[in-house]
Amino acid sequence: MDNMETRLIPHRLVVTGHPKLLDSLQEAEAVAAYLKQKGLEAPYGSLYEEQLRKRVHAGEFDLLIAIGGDGTMLRAGHLCAPHGIPVLGLNKGRLGFLFQVDDGGWQKMIDRLLAGDFWVENRMMLRAEQFRSGESLGTWQALNDAVIARGQYLRPIHVKACVDEQYLTTYVADGLIASTATGSTAYAMASGGPILPPELRNILLVPIAPHLSVDRAVVLSEGSAVRMTVLSENSVLSIDGQLPVSLAEDDQVDVRAGEDTAKFIRFGDPGYFYRNLTAHMNQSATIGLPR
């Protein structure tokens, strides 16, 4: 598969945790201690610690271990993707669509990693750029999605979508999601979009609560780009769920495949994605049922 690659066994590891997740940093310390038993010195700390992030940017590591939930994996992906550093995720959250569930515990995963029994999964990121009157106001990389949504007023917005400079449609909705395959299990799925396997390099367009306009998701061809033009006031741009950026009427947001690729450590066969997916769906189906 094109999104898979083998990799040399990493020897320069760093272990990170989410500072607001219970036991996350303690778990990071335990993982670092286990690695030391294996003869590897691995620093550990918060994923948001500035000094640690500087060391990642300086290229001191060839693998980052992230302990937390899907949000932690997103942040780790953003940090490591520009430097081609793979991320091994150890799940301490509730959902974990970005994780590979392993009943054997993290010690077993570390052992397999150090034995070279793993592969690297490549996931496309997006490049989103905001324009106003032809001037670029900002550029962002997204692992999940770039979302144009209504602001503080409870009324729909109008967003014109052009694909490869050809007019597609004008959405009247609470917003429009431009998502990667990774993001198809996030906001896009909650808005009724399809689930895409992680190896796909397609952009998915999903309207949020459409009002008398196109209400179906659209999967763009690989390599296609979309320009979203805001035709009304009261709208914002959010990248991977981060703090929104205000948009003015006639602002344009161009979204295409990004320059960076997020890399995740995986074990066994690629069928893990579907096993995770059905596990989550089955779990959701039982919520609220008597035990």
Active site residues: 70
CB of 74 closer than 8 Å to CB of 240: yes
Q: Looking up tokens 């490049």, which residue turns up?
A: 127
Rounded to whole angstroms, what are the CA distances from 59 to 64, 80, 96, 194, 198? Answer: 11, 10, 27, 37, 26
Question: Counting every residue, how long is the chain?
Answer: 291
CB atoms within 10 A of CB 260: 19
Listing DSSP states for 87-119 in one string gives EEEEE-SS--TTS---TTHHHHHHHHHHTT--E
Q: What's the CA gap between 187 and 184, in Å, rounded?
A: 7
CB of 139 closer than 8 Å to CB of 174: no
Residue 31 structure tokens: 């993982």
User: What sign does the CA torsion over 20, 188, 103, 100 have?
Assistant: negative
Q: What angle do CA 20, 24, 27 make, to 5 degrees?
A: 165
Q: What's the CA gap between 201 and 180, in Å, rounded?
A: 7
Q: Which of 278, 276, 285, 289 is nearest to 121 (CA)?
A: 276
* 129 CB burial (10 A radius; 0-12, 13-18, 19+): middle
